[in-house]
Structure 1
Amino acid sequence: AQGKDTIKINQIAEKNLDEVVIWASADEPVNQVAKIVTTITREEIGRLKPQSIQDLLSYAASVDIQTRGSHGVQADVSIRGGSFDQSAILLNGINISNPQTGHYSFDIPINISDIERIEILHSPSAIVYGASAFSGGINIITKKNIDKELSAKVEGGSYGLFAGEIGGAYRIKNVDNRLSFGYKQSDGYINNSDYRIFNLLYGSRVNLKENKIDIQLGYNRKNYGANTFYSAAYPNQYDNTSSVLASVKGEFGSKLKFLPSIYWNRHYDRFELIKNSGKSNNHRSDVLGSN
């Protein structure tokens, strides 16, 4: 006997759906996208008395700072829920984001006394800063147009803490110059948490009637014990980094502005999973760009 397969088709009642209206429009130009900017002013910096740029950013809305070490040793920044590799870091409008990893985003040669203000761009329009600004951008603006200035700061504390800054500005005819040094060190409050940080920054602005040319040169060096920075299984990690930057940026025209720039960043990194083991990972990254 042969069985017969049968398929039963259930009748489904028809139902009329409401109309759906679809509107078509062109993409909005980036320069017309609404911008959400948070500004940390010089006056606010003076009231907060921060120890590092990371301390300052921790007060800003939509910015999450995850620090490792103290005094600005290392930190990851997240804007609007993005990862630490999705936020651009700029110095006077020049992108200095680290292409190797966002862990080194704050290996930058700047002291608190150099900062005029910090602008944090939260909106999608931050993409004008480049692909690294997927979730936002942080633009650090240094002091300019100062005739004469001299400042110095020294502090000390427990566990061999010492920190000092000295900076000055001087105008020669139509050229504004600023130079600053910074140094921090500590023996660490627990094993392998010591650090040494050195910053050097020079900035110059050439004023040519309605035109301006900005030049900046910087050097940053850090070496620190990275106790459990990346894994609790290896408490004796060690990092030694250095970075160099140079840029020239122009501002030409009165009614129609032309803002060309050219820049170069170099970053060195020597990482030891086990400090003083004789084995290390060494990296060098170079970024050359223009706008």
Structure 2
Amino acid sequence: MAAIAQEKSSELDPVTITATINPVASSKTGRNLFVLKGEDIAKLPVHSLDEVLRYIPGFEVQARGPMGAQSDLVLRGGTFQQVLVVIDGLRINDPNTGHFNSYIPVVPAEIERIEVLKGASSAIYGSDAVGGVVHIITKTFAYTGVPSKSFSGGVTGGAYGLLNANASGYYSNEKLAVSAGAQTNNADGQAQRGIDGYFHLHTVSAAASYKLNNQWKIAYRSSFDSRKFAAQNFYTSFASDTAAEKVTTWWQQLALSYHKNNNHFTWQTGYKHVNDHYGYNPSSIANNSKSKLLQSLAVYEHSFNNDLSLVTGAQFQQKGISSNDRGNHTVYQAAGFASLNAALNKHFTVSPGVRLDWDEASGYELVPQLNASYKQGSFQVRGSAGKTIRNADFTERYNNYNKTLVTSGRIGNPDLSAERSFSYEAGADYFGKNFRVSTTLFQRRHSDLIDWSTTAYADMPRKENLSATGTYALARNISKLITSGWETDVQWIYTMNNQRSFTANAGFIWLNSETNAGFASFYTNSHAKFMVNGSLRYSTPLFAISVNGLYKTREAQAAANIKGQITTEYFVASVKADVFVIKNKLSVYAEADNVFNRSYADLLGAQMPGRWLMGGIRFTY
């Protein structure tokens, strides 16, 4: 029983590397964090990483299509470009558009854990870490020399031509760790307005880590991700939009680390190449864009003692695009940062940090942050304040800029300023024997926030390739936006006689955004006004039941020409039932996604599927 209690304690207050880079208990970061273990992903009624994130407490995922076709990630009411996604310490946000940020090129079975850090994080991570950070930590890169081996896989079939499959393996000894995996999700799809919502989504990834000696370790990852899907009204509300899109991603990552006594140094480099082929309809000329992200990150950590550690780092990025729609562009970025983690006594911890960021397009930015926490017994209070920044992506700067004639659509703006904001938060936590409750009040004050707004031809700053009769949306800076909110997260873990277990996670978030822009924009108010989401699972040696649920309210929208509608509220749930044929090795399951057959959309025109029935088999060794 002592071992079980210790395991619960570590799950409710896990060690994290996302908030301060150096490993510390989440209660010592001054931040609201949620950590999901990789082994729990396969137990949920989900089929892709964006669906996993959708049910993390307080995390809003605005889905355009199912099972990984495309989703926008939203934390604390930010826009979809304001969440930074990181794999083993390196950022993967695409320089072309934030719509691709949910394309995470890692097979779920390779994941050790997912850490979601809510709130301002630009002092360490730079641009995009406004609403928060999603950090994917893989088994191979987290390898510490403990021997282990596993192999798992599964097949799912269902309605609308659904066929999903996955397989992965992991092996490690005292010096070497290797992993490899593949996942494919396919369906003819349910009927939409103009076409069926088909998708063919494939990910293959492999990694290896090797301890050169007691101090040095090297790790390498290579991944390929291909997604072909119906994209009708993903980006427009025109009736002529029957789009199809294919996005392919290559991801390479190399890490070299040194650890001796109180010194820890890591150098990483990564290269991401994305090819996007988008056809608005069969008669239009397709957009072809190739984007690249080359980066290098060096981090040095020194622990003076158990109560004081210093992290310093330097980062370099080269972002580029070659496109028949957006043109050819390259932007360089560099930064240096430092963060101190100090336990002033056994109760009080502070973590000040600062970053000096330089972007070729936006210039220099000094980004400070201060986190603090005080814990007494099972109770904790915490607070954080910091500046955040975000630089415009290539779509916001150059969309439709390179075409001969644009009769309607979104028009980029090369003169955009970088977004700046300042965030404040204060929270409290209770760590019980079987549960944890965290509640946070926060506010984010933006200046120069970037969004799209319907703009008359006469007011367009550039008219060279535009039609005077066209309908356009221009990327613009909004002078001020204030987002205020309250969130509460609940985690419950209960084990009965080490045979039956019950786990539950739930999040409640209320949000309000106010602007003085004087014009309507697309994404600043697309977030939920109130949302409840979460999951629960009951497991015995013979069977298990898992349920995901999501309820949210938001502003209503309608587009009569495409019969599109955003309702003021919706509730959607999925259920999965497992029967264990061979304990801990073989199971069969049945699943119902959108079990109540709700008609809903997160974004206007991008209709989500109704009830979807499926079943499958899963094995683990």
Counterpart code for 2:204: L
Runs of 4+ with >4 A deviation: 30-33
Structure 1 residues not aligned, in runs of 5+:
1-29
Give the aligned partner of residue 249 of structure 2.
243
Task: Measure, in 1, the Cα distance between the counterparts of 2:252 and 2:157.
Answer: 32
**Against the structure 1 CA distance between its residues 102 and 127, is the aligned structure 2 distance closer, same or farther, given a 3 Å change threshold?**
farther
Q: Secondary structure at the match of 1:252?
A: strand
Matches within 5 A, 1:222-233: 222-233=227-238
Matches within 5 A, 1:173-252: 174-190=175-191, 191-207=195-211, 208-233=213-238, 234-252=240-258
| Displacement after TM superposition at 1:213 (Å) | 1.7
Counterpart code for 2:242: N
| Displacement after TM superposition at 1:34 (Å) | 3.3
Counterpart code for 1:158: A
Q: What's the CA shift string for 1:203-243, capped at 9, x where partnerless? A: 11112323322211111001111122122324411111101
Percentage of pairs with the same residue: 25
Matches within 5 A, 1:71-86: 71-86=67-82
Q: Secondary structure at the match of 1:124?
A: coil
Task: Measure, in 2, the Cα distance between the counterparts of 1:153 and 1:47.
Answer: 12
Residue 101 of structure 1 pairs with residue 107 of structure 2: no
Question: Which segment is superposed worse, 261-270 or 187-196?
Answer: 187-196
TM-score (norm 2): 0.40
Q: What's the CA shift string for 1:162-199, capped at 9, x where partnerless? A: 01011112347722110111111111111231111110
Residue 170 of structure 1 pairs with residue 178 of structure 2: no
| Displacement after TM superposition at 1:117 (Å) | 1.1
TM-score (norm 1): 0.83
Matches within 5 A, 1:134-153: 134-144=130-140, 145=143, 147-153=148-154
1:214–1:248 contact (8 Å) kept in structure 2: yes
Task: Measure, in 2, the Cα distance between the counterparts of 1:250 and 1:219.
Answer: 22
Structure 2 residues not aligned, in runs of 5+:
1-19, 22-27, 298-621
**Against the structure 1 CA distance between its residues 47 and 108, is the aligned structure 2 distance closer, same or farther, given a 3 Å change threshold?**
closer
2:119–2:130 contact (8 Å) kept in structure 1: no
**Against the structure 1 CA distance between its residues 35 and 210, is the aligned structure 2 distance closer, same or farther, given a 3 Å change threshold?**
farther
Counterpart code for 2:89: G
Q: What's the CA shift string for 1:85-119, capped at 9, x where partnerless? A: 11111111111111111111122222222222110
2:122–2:128 contact (8 Å) kept in structure 1: no
Q: Secondary structure at the match of 1:253?
A: strand
Task: Measure, in 2, the Cα distance between the counterparts of 1:160 and 1:232.
Answer: 28
**Against the structure 1 CA distance between its residues 219 and 287, is the aligned structure 2 distance closer, same or farther, given a 3 Å change threshold?**
same
Counterpart code for 1:249: A
Residue 288 of structure 1 pairs with residue 294 of structure 2: yes
| Displacement after TM superposition at 1:132 (Å) | 1.7
Give the aligned partner of residue 273 of structure 1.
280
Aligned residues: 261
Q: Secondary structure at the match of 2:150?
A: strand
Give the aligned partner of residue 25 of structure 1.
none
**Against the structure 1 CA distance between its residues 224 and 113, is the aligned structure 2 distance closer, same or farther, given a 3 Å change threshold?**
same
Counterpart code for 1:240: K
| Displacement after TM superposition at 1:120 (Å) | 0.8
Task: Measure, in 1, the Cα distance between the counterparts of 2:106 and 2:224.
Answer: 9
Task: Measure, in 2, the Cα distance between the counterparts of 1:163 and 1:77.
Answer: 23
Q: What's the CA shift string for 1:37-87, capped at 9, x where partnerless? A: 211123543442421112221222332100111111100001111111111
| Displacement after TM superposition at 1:281 (Å) | 0.6
Task: Measure, in 2, the Cα distance between the counterparts of 1:240 and 1:220.
Answer: 11
Task: Measure, in 2, the Cα distance between the counterparts of 1:173 and 1:43.
Answer: 22
